[in-house]
Amino acid sequence: MSELLDWLLSPVAIRARAEQFYTYVSEGRSAYFTLEAGRLEPVADYVAAVIRANYPSLRIPYHARWRHFGDRWDRLAPRFQDGMHPDEVARIRFDLAVVSVLLDAGAGAAWRYQEAETGQVLARSEGLAVASLHAELACAPKPGLVTPFDRGSHADMDAATFLRSLFALRGYFVAIADAALQRAGFDALRRLGIAAETAMLRATGGVNTHRGAIFNLGLLAAQAARLRQQHGRVPSGEAVCHAVRDWSSELLAAPLDRASHGQLACARYGVAGARELAAAGYPLLREVALPALRQALAAGMPRNTALAHTLLCLIGQTDDLNLLHRGGWAGLRQAQRLARGFIAAGGAWQPDWQQQLQQIGEVFVSRRLSPGGSADLLACTWFLHCQERQA
């Protein structure tokens, strides 16, 4: 028996079982998994990009549950381990790791823990804003936009560029939410945003991947945290959007970068920019994106499908500054017309919706059209939806 168990734990046995599972799925016999062999190489490239973005030197630490505790064990241990037998300390550490795994698996989104020494509230929702940006990046197909599988209309960026940016922004959304909880003024929040933009540009070599998300998602994350603190419950997405209007005067009075592509488009075409939309409480999120996403998810759409559907709803209704910058009025109107036609025909409820979006994407790429503003709003929509689920 021991020899059999040793063999089952060996790399040879693991690879043999993996090969059996691969064959089972590739033959279409699994009720739970499908295999798209043509995407294996792009997925491998995506995983490699994640690794290189997080560990540029390729000195990768072992993954282990114990590493999740960071330095907290060193602070906890003196309370009870003095004079304790090493075997008992080992049992305590083992129990702690097991309970941690079970909490992650079954506690649900509402679990919270306040660390007595620091007062820091820890939760499974930490990093929700960054997770929303990851969800936006992973959504595919997205006409003209970067996905893990193609560059869209962009020659200067790919999924790896976005990942470097996301790793640089990991602390920003927590910082701006903490600042809002401490009743920091708008100028302090703005400085955090400027610092985050600097970090993004440093990580990407000067490529703007998330400037709009830093602004919009930062404001929403700050107000979501503030409303939870004020009312002791999770706010609706609409309430978070309305709360951003508390800063309307500061938003409209803040200095502008008039040389940015967005501001140049605003000045040339006379349309509202990001700060005007924020000062108005994000009507596009409240009236277009959130209802579309909720309807799609309630109908049973998978996340990726629902996000793609919501994106096209946004493209059809948004005066996207990135589309204006790249294609002028003609490019914007063409993108809106294609998006509205897709939605009017049934959107992602159509059986061939992916093929249709790929065809729209070909049109976008041929004209270098990229709805980056709509993509930022999509990430904001997913964030607002997910934070509602934290109740």
Provide the sign of the torsion angle of the four alpha carbons 248, 253, 255, 256, taken in this order: positive
pLDDT, mean of residues 197-226: 93
308 pLDDT more than 90: yes
pLDDT of amino acid 111 = 53
Rg (alpha carbons) of the chain, rounded to whole number: 23
Residue 101 falls inside a structural domain: no
Does residue 57 fall inside a structural domain? no
Whether 85 maps to a domain, the answer reads no
Report the distance separating Cα 333 and Cα 323, nearest Å: 9
Is the Cα torsion angle 256, 261, 264, 266 positive or negative in sign? negative
CA distance 133 to 389: 17
pLDDT at position 276: 93
Q: What's the average model confidence in pLDDT over 369-379?
A: 96
Q: Is residue 316 part of a domain?
A: yes
Does residue 380 sit within a domain?
A: yes
H or E element that contains 155:
none
Structural domain that includes position 158: 125-388
Higher pLDDT, 375 or 126: 375
The amino acid occupying position 140 is A
Check if the beta carbon of residue 307 is closer than 8 Å to that of residue 139.
Answer: yes
**Residue 195 near residue 173 (C-beta atoms within 8 A):** no
**Helical pair 372-388 and 321-344, crossing angle rounded to 10 deg:** 70
pTM here is 0.75
Considering only residues 320 and 5, tell me which one the structure prediction assigns the higher pLDDT.
320
Residue 93 falls inside a structural domain: no
Kindly report the length of the chain: 391
Strand partners, 147: 150
Residue 73 located in a structural domain:
no
- Left if phi > 0, otherwise alpha if psi is -120 to 50, otherwise beta: which for 253? alpha
Q: How many domains does the chain have?
A: 1
Per-residue DSSP letters for 174-217? Answer: HHHHHHHHTT--HHHHHHHHHHHHHHHHHHHTS--SSHHHHHHH
Q: In this structure, what are the phi and psi dihedrals at residue 352, rounded to the nearest 5 degrees?
A: -105, 30
More confident: 35 or 380? 380
**Per-residue pLDDT for 298 more than 60?**
yes
- Report the pLDDT value the prediction gives residue 125, as an integer from 0 to 100: 44
The 8-class DSSP code of residue 301 comes to: -
Residue 166 in this model has a pLDDT that exceeds 70: yes
- Within a domain: 119: no
How far CA 264 is from CA of 206, 260, 273, 355, in Å, comes to 19, 6, 10, 34
pLDDT at 80 over 70: no
Residue 94 has pLDDT above 80, yes or no: no
Q: Which residues are CB-neighbours of 210 under 8 A, at least 6 positions away?
A: 133, 162, 165, 166, 169, 200, 376
Q: Please report the pLDDT score of residue 64 as a whole number.
A: 66
pLDDT of residue 208: 93
Provide the pLDDT for residue 7.
Answer: 77
